[in-house]
Structure 1
Amino acid sequence: MSIASVDSWRLKIQHRSGFDYAGPVSSSYNEARMWPRNETHQAVLDARVEVWPPARTYRYEDYWGTVVTAFDVHARHEALTVTATSTVETLPPGDLIEQGEGAAWDELAVPENVDRWYELLLGTKRTGLNDELTGIAADIRAAHATPHAAALAVCEFVRGEVTYQPGATGVQSDALHAWEQRKGVCQDISHLTVGLLREMGLPARYVSGYLHPKPSAAIGDSVVGQSHAWVEWWVGRWTAFDPTNGVPVGERHVVVGRGREYGDVPPLKGVYAGPASTGQGVEVTITRLR
């Protein structure tokens, strides 16, 4: 499948991740979520996931629709490396919802919609709010006639209050930690945004993927890219927005998975028998091919 157009981009992504151990590991059981999705605004032209030490892999879609590459390693090893390589065609944002459009507040509250999206209306460990943030959500909701306008206002609010600072937090951090120190990474900004959206009654989901960092990227240049996170909310249909950068999701974004929070879509996780892990390395390289 191809979605080529004059405005489309073609991106090659190489994502290398893995673990180092303090000594030999006898066996490990792992899941990688690094395989981009085929969907309306992106087409996967090629994808593969390679494992070292060599292991047989198999793929399936999890509960949230993310492609999982699962594998076991039973040879003794002191390091594990997973390399995912993909080529994806992407489109610009396209048909955006205007602020005054989308489902009304009372439509979101009808039982069939609440039941349909129930899991995406609940708080989680990483998206929970305190009394201050609950009050802020109520104020933003009251100030906007439509849920979509309120959602855009939440993104603007979070971006204005929380400074993007690489290294400010870790993968175990949550929305409250980022709020209290007023800084974090895209994961934290997305968790905080999702928490506020759900508090207002909007079904919201956390999206994991990749971002090409340069809007005016030259064709053929390889750059250090990013594992990235953004949000989607439902107002009669799903709409995607990147609160870290303050832009609709478009040709620079590549979707890998969706869920309630980071814990549903970690790029690599597993269990093993052996000494403690001494660290996890991550390297993402993105090349614009067209």
Structure 2
Amino acid sequence: MVQSWRLRVQHKTGFTYAGKVSSSYNEARMSPRNEPHQAVLDARVEVWPPARTYKYEDYWGTAVTAFDVHAAHEALQVTATATVETLPAGDRLTGDGASWADLAAPESVDRWHELLLPTPRTALDEELTELAESIKSAHATPQAFAMAVSERVRAEVEYQPGATGVQTDAVHAWRQRKGVCQDISHLVVGLLRAVGMPARYVSGYLHPSSSAAVGETVVGQSHAWPEWWAGRWMAFDATNGIPVGEQHVVVGRGREYGDVPPLKGVYSGPENTGQGVEVAITRLR
């Protein structure tokens, strides 16, 4: 019998300013998705100062909560709370799926065109392009190649919080051999695309313990991992070297981080003096 987890995720984030902001216009991508391996039982997004919110699904299929704040404020806080049922990894990585010839076929290239192009954070230099080609030459199938790329990046790039920022690109992270889940995901996505393999960036949450105690609230993480197309979409947490399963909660997908930031917006007023982030996760079952 497949044992699902039930997780409650509370994600708080926001901005502080050097004085009163007269108005701001914002988008939050912090609500989990309903999909085959996870079911959203409850989800809400609360804003302070209070504001009317409206929801829509963006081009990439991510749920967006949009809101404007027109009352003067020196801080903005957004709290997203969700209860999600998640399934183990199961057979999500089994089978070789598509061949290299399948991926090179015109209909495949046309279908996944946007997920084959480099972006500012996933573009590679000559060294990384050559690395992608050398790993490809040693693997007969796209699936084997993708797993080898994931393991290579994990082995070479040390996970180190604070080593990079949200604007860091794959080349910079590779050169310093340090980064966070965002950088590792950008690197994997860039290497896959370099040899014609469709790949996308996934944002979400991770419960840090595979043996989580029921009822215990822990400090969770905003997390990211890559997915690739090898006849079907497959996901692997390259930062931790584990399949995406019951510990993971999907929020959104895109070409890179810039398509799925948790909170972004524009405002009129003094400078932004900081952004706080707090994620708490409780296993309910």
The TM-score, its normalising length taken from structure 1, stands at 0.97
- Match status 1:243 vs 2:238: yes
Partner of 1:151: 146
CA distance in 1, matches of 2:57, 2:92: 28
Which residue identity is paired with 2:102? E
* 1:19-64 CA distance string (max 9 Å, x none): 0000000000000000000000000000000000000000000000
Match of 1:181 among 176, 180, 189: 176
CA distance in 1, matches of 2:218, 2:249: 15
Contact 2:104 2:196 in 1 (8 A): yes
CA distance in 1, matches of 2:114, 2:146: 18
CA distance in 2, matches of 1:97, 1:179: 26
Q: 1:80: Cα distance to partner? A: 0.2
Which residue identity is paired with 1:169? T
Partner of 2:167: 172
Q: 1:274: Cα distance to partner? A: 0.2
Alignment of structure 1 residues 113-124 onto 2, 5 Å: 113-124=108-119
- Match status 1:227 vs 2:237: no
- Match status 1:67 vs 2:63: yes
Q: 1:65: Cα distance to partner? A: 0.1
CA distance in 2, matches of 1:237, 1:71: 35
Which residue identity is paired with 1:88? V
Contact 2:5 2:86 in 1 (8 A): yes
% of aligned pairs identical?
76
Which residue identity is paired with 1:34? M
CA distance in 2, matches of 1:215, 1:177: 31
Match of 2:72 among 71, 76, 82: 76
Q: Secondary structure at the match of 1:19?
A: strand
Which residue identity is paired with 1:16? K
CA distance in 1, matches of 2:112, 2:2: 36
Which residue identity is paired with 1:212? H
CA distance in 2, matches of 1:94, 1:61: 28
- Match status 1:32 vs 2:28: yes
5+ unaligned residues in a row in structure 1: which ranges? none
Match of 2:10 among 1, 14, 26: 14
The TM-score, its normalising length taken from structure 2, stands at 0.99
CA distance in 2, matches of 1:97, 1:270: 37
Alignment of structure 1 residues 89-104 onto 2, 5 Å: 89-98=85-94, 101-104=96-99
- Match status 1:288 vs 2:283: yes
Alignment of structure 1 residues 266-281 onto 2, 5 Å: 266-281=261-276
5+ unaligned residues in a row in structure 2: which ranges? none
Q: Secondary structure at the match of 2:110?
A: helix
Which residue identity is paired with 1:276? E
Q: 1:6: Cα distance to partner? A: 4.8
Q: Once superposed, what is the RMSD of the aligned Cα atoms?
A: 0.8
Partner of 2:203: 208
Q: 1:97: Cα distance to partner? A: 3.8
